[in-house]
Amino acid sequence: QVQVVESGGGLVQAGGSLRLSCAASGRTFSRSVMGWFRQAPGKERAFVAVISKRLGYTYYADSVKGRFTISRDNAKNTVYLQMNSLKPEDTAVYYCVVKDNADYIDYDDREYAYWGQGTQVIVSS
C-alpha cells in the first residue's frame, strides 16, 4: 500500500522560512516525479514545484522561483521543499504528490496518482 506523508508545516512570520518534507513508501518509485501543490482558502489547487527522481529535473511555479528550493533523497524516497522569504500569499495547505513510472515533469494535478494528506502553512504579515 502506497503511503505519502508530509511534515514540516506551521506558522511563520513574513520573511521567514520553513522546510517541508515528504516521504513516499510502499513501492520502489525508481522512476518517479515527486513534488508539491498547494491550495489556499477559496482558491483552486495550484502547482508549486516538482522534481524528477531519476533525471533530477526541477520546475517551479513563477510565484515561488528564487524563494523555494525542491530537493530529494532518492535512497529514502523523500522530497523536501525549502521555503524562504515567505509571504502571506504563500499561506495554503501544501500537498505532496507522486507520479510513478515517469521521468518528466507534469503540471496537471490529475497526473499524480498519489497524494499526501496535506500540511498547513500559515504566513502572518
DSSP state of 100: E
Cell of 52: 524528477
State the average pLDDT for the chain.
95
Residue whose C-alpha is closest to residue 35's, from 124, 98, 125, 117: 98
**pLDDT tens, 78-90?**
999 999 999 999 9
Query: Which candidate, 92, 39, 33, places its Cα nearest to that of 59?
Result: 33
Query: Are residues 111 and 55 in contact, defined by beta-carbon separation less than 8 angstroms?
Result: no
CA–CA separation, 73 and 111 (whole Å): 22
d(C-alpha 120, C-alpha 21), whole Å = 12
* Confidence at residue 106, expressed as pLDDT on a 0 to 100 scale: 87
* CA-to-CA dists, residue 46 to 28, 55, 68, 81, angstroms: 27, 23, 15, 15
CA 10 distance to own-chain centroid: 15
pLDDT tens digits, 46-75: 999 999 988 889 999 999 999 999 999 989
